[in-house]
């Protein structure tokens, strides 16, 4: 089999790496120092996204996106993952369920989001509902031709810069009727509760929002009543693959930095790279990245070009997120150890990577939830999805 990247794929990855080095990484110090970017820096970076044609890479060109398949998106996001400060979130990727909207919804929400005129934030998590969206209590009820929504959402990533939400609710408080709505932030009854501070530095915020008797028309319902869980699951699958991509980029940068540092740092009259204890850490880092990246590339290629069905993709995406995020955590932990005291200083990228990569084992489904998905697949269908090989079944 030929496992080399095609010319266009290789060129795309190179372009994404250059964008990261020229646009994102130069913003790291400002983002860390100021806990975000100035409006001027953000506006400049936003224009760069458009100039480089990296807006809405996950949506069809007919909807204003770049039309990249999942494998190509992965190649791009892997490179963006090298940047600290979650600067990979500057290039906007409107949530994939928006593609399932009506033509009117696409015109009102998706296409402006693809062009950067609008921005969405997916609001799922609540104080009592995290990895299991079936625990959601935010409720929507019919009132004439409208819907009235009540509830509260936590950890609404990029909610500070978004101007509309994809809101995961249950109709009439019934968990068997999960339903998503498109809600403009300026709709009466939408209220910012507070903006918590988090361990990582993130270019945007994760506020808590209350929805108090928020009234929207039926034209704001995304999908059918009861279809919300499937739409949200589609979003989870895509996000889990992209988390896999970004964590591999972060891990690769940590290894690059560690190797350079180990060659330059001298102790006891020799570069520490010559010490077997350091050499073994570097070797483990490289081998683990190679293994996890192989899984990532395989699954994304299957999803984009190998005819992988939706159910199997859900199962394999969980393995990707689990393996890649856990691998990156181990790799970056070793990087901090190699850097010693410098690895604990925020001015060094490995320290920032250490703080920022930790959440990848939590959001979009914790590592434990990914194991539940994998375990469920094993019980229902056996180990073939994970131990077999495409075309060998």
Structure tokens at 167: 């809101």
Residue keyed to tokens 């993130």:
202
Question: Per-residue b/e over 179-192, b at no fewer than 16 CB within 10 Å?
Answer: bbbbbeeeeeebee
Instruction: Give yes or no for a contact between 175 and 226, defined as CB atoms under 8 angstroms apart.
Output: no
User: Cα torsion for 183, 185, 189, 191, to the nearest 10°?
Assistant: 130
Please state, in angstroms and rounded to a whole number, the distance separating the CA atoms of residues 65 and 55: 7
| Cβ contact 299:241 at 8 Å | yes
Measure the CA–CA gap between 62 and 103, rounded to whole angstroms: 11
In this structure, are residues 356 and 312 in contact, taking their beta carbons and an 8 Å threshold? no
**Which candidate in 230, 364, 368, 393 is catalytic?**
364
What is the DSSP-derived secondary structure letter of residue 306? S
Distance CA 95, CA 119 (A): 10
* Cα gap 252→75, rounded to integer Å: 13
User: In sequence order, what are the residues at sequence separation of 6 or more whose Cβ sits closer than 8 angstroms to the Cβ of residue 135?
Assistant: 126, 128, 129, 175
364 noted as active-site residue:
yes
Tokens linked to 79: 């490179």
Q: What is each CA distance from 125 to 62, 373, 385, in whole angstroms?
A: 31, 19, 29
Q: Which among 356, 351, 358, 346 has a CA at the least distance from the CA of 33?
A: 346
Residues recognised as catalytic: 364
């Amino acid at each position: 089999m030929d496992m080399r990247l095609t010319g266009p794929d290789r060129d795309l990855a190179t372009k994404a790496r250059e964008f990261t080095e020229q646009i994102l990484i130069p913003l790291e110090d400002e983002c860390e120092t100021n806990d975000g970017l100035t409006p001027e820096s953000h506006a400049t970076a936003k224009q760069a996204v458009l100039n480089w044609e990296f807006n809405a890479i996950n949506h069809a060109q007919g909807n204003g996106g770049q039309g990249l398949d999942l494998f190509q998106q992965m190649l791009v996001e892997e490179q963006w993952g090298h940047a600290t400060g979650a600067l990979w979130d500057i290039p906007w990727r409107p949530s994939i369920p928006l593609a399932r909207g009506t033509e009117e919804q696409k015109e009102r929400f998706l296409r402006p989001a693809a062009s950067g005129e609008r921005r969405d934030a997916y609001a799922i998590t609540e104080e009592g509902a995290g990895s299991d969206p079936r625990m959601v209590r935010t409720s929507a009820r019919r009132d004439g031709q409208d819907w009235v929504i009540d509830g509260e959402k936590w950890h609404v990533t990029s909610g500070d810069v978004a101007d509309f939400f994809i809101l995961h609710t249950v109709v009439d408080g019934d968990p068997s009727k999960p339903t998503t709505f498109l809600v403009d932030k300026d709709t009466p009854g939408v209220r910012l509760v507070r903006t918590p501070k988090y361990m990582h530095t993130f270019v945007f915020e994760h506020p808590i929002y209350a929805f108090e008797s928020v009234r929207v028309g039926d034209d704001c319902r995304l999908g059918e009543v009861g279809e919300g869980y499937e739409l949200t699951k589609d979003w989870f699958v895509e996000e889990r693959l992209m988390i896999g991509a970004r964590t591999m980029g972060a891990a690769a940068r940590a290894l690059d930095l560690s190797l350079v540092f180990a060659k330059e740092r001298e102790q006891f009259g020799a570069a520490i790279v010559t010490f077997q204890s350091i050499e073994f850490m570097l070797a483990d880092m490289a081998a683990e990245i190679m293994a996890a990246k192989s899984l990532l590339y395989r699954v994304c290629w299957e999803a984009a070009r190998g005819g992988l069905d939706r159910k199997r993709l859900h199962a394999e995406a969980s393995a990707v997120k689990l393996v890649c995020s856990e691998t990156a955590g181990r790799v970056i932990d070793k990087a901090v150890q190699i850097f010693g005291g410098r690895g604990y200083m925020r001015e060094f990228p490995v320290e920032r990577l250490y703080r920022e990569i930790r959440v990848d084992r939590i959001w979009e489904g914790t590592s434990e939830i990914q194991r539940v998905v994998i375990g469920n697949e094993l019980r229902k269908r056996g180990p073939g999805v994970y131990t077999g090989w495409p075309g060998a079944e």
